[in-house]
């Protein structure tokens, strides 16, 4: 992974495959956009993370410490069963793993950050992102739960760092879940999927929207009954 240059940096992370999958769309999308200029010339820096509690956050720390500080950090993950690109609204301070991570770890009812707040909200314009994706024909929806596995762990760790480290005061960030790829659906009939090219275009548009929308997010419904 090459270091970012002096232009504005967008840190875009994706995970290793997990739970017997041979591929993870989050990394496939991130690496497809690596080095690409977005909007006014901000450059994407892709980072592959292990699907491991603790280690994923440590690798994130290394990338956040590089200069210049990123203007934007977007972490991507797989949400098997979802049919839409899903910007997450909130990260919660709990690790509660239904399955082991890639190192065999399976924390239960553990804090992501001891003594940290119960939750953090994304600082991405999640509703503007959803509208932009839908207007361009990409299925998208706000999600109100990032789960309690490594995705939420990383999301909370990211937002805690953005909230508490002075060097990252101007950095915005959040987490986005992606659907499975068609190859994964072929192995699990009935599993919703989205083509890689559509996911790449959707995340490209997501990043551009996040850079463009500097003020308040849209005020329109993105809630759920359950």
What pLDDT does 226 receive? 62
Could you tell me if residue 224 is inside a domain?
no
Assigned domain for 104 exists: yes
List the catalytic residues.
88, 151, 177
3-class SS at 55?
A: helix
- Predicted pLDDT at 221: 84
According to DSSP, the β-strands at 72-78 and 172-178 are parallel
Q: Single out the residue of 57, 47, 175 nearest to residue 116, CA to CA.
A: 57
Place of tokens 């999927």: 193
The pLDDT score that the predictor gives to residue 79 is 97
pLDDT of residue 34: 98
User: What pLDDT is recorded for position 224?
Assistant: 78
Structural domain boundaries enclosing 72: 9-212
Specify if 141 maps to a domain: yes
Q: What does the block give as tokens for 14?
A: 């994706």
* Per-residue pLDDT of the chain in tens (226 residues, 90 and over written 9): 444 444 699 999 999 999 989 999 999 999 999 999 998 889 999 999 999 999 999 999 999 999 899 999 999 999 999 999 999 999 999 999 999 999 999 999 999 999 999 999 999 999 999 999 999 999 999 999 999 999 999 999 999 999 999 999 999 999 999 999 999 999 999 999 999 999 999 999 999 999 999 888 878 888 876 6
Q: Is 194 helix (H, G, I), strand (E, B) or coil?
A: coil
Is 51 inside a domain boundary?
Answer: yes
Domain with residue 133: its CATH number is 3.40.630.20
Domain count, the chain: 1
- Whether residue 108 is contained in a domain is answered as yes
| 226 domain residue, yes or no | no
pLDDT of the residue at 167: 95
pTM of the model: 0.94
Residue 218 lies in a domain: no
Kindly state whether residue 93 falls inside one of the protein's structural domains. Answer: yes
């Amino acid at each position: 992974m090459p270091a970012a240059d002096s232009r504005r940096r967008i840190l875009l992370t994706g995970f290793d495959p997990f739970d017997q999958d041979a591929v993870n769309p989050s990394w496939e999308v991130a690496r497809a956009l690596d080095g690409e200029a977005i909007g006014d010339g901000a450059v994407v820096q892709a980072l592959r993370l292990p699907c491991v509690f603790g280690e994923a956050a440590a690798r994130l720390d290394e990338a956040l410490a590089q200069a210049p500080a990123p203007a934007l950090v977007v972490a991507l993950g797989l949400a098997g069963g979802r049919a839409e690109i899903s910007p997450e609204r909130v990260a919660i301070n709990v690790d509660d793993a239904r399955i082991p991570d890639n190192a065999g770890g399976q924390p239960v009812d553990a804090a992501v950050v001891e003594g940290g707040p119960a939750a953090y909200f994304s600082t991405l314009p999640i509703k503007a992102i959803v509208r932009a994706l839908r207007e361009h024909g990409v299925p998208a929806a706000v999600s109100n739960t990032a789960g309690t596995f490594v995705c939420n762990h990383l999301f909370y760790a990211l937002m805690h760092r953005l909230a508490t480290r002075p060097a990252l005061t101007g950095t915005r960030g959040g987490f986005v879940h992606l659907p499975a790829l068609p190859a994964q659906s072929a192995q699990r009939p009935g599993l919703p999927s989205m083509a890689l090219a559509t996911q790449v275009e959707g995340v490209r548009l997501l990043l551009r929207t996040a850079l463009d929308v500097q003020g308040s997010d849209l005020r329109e419904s993105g809630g759920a009954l359950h």
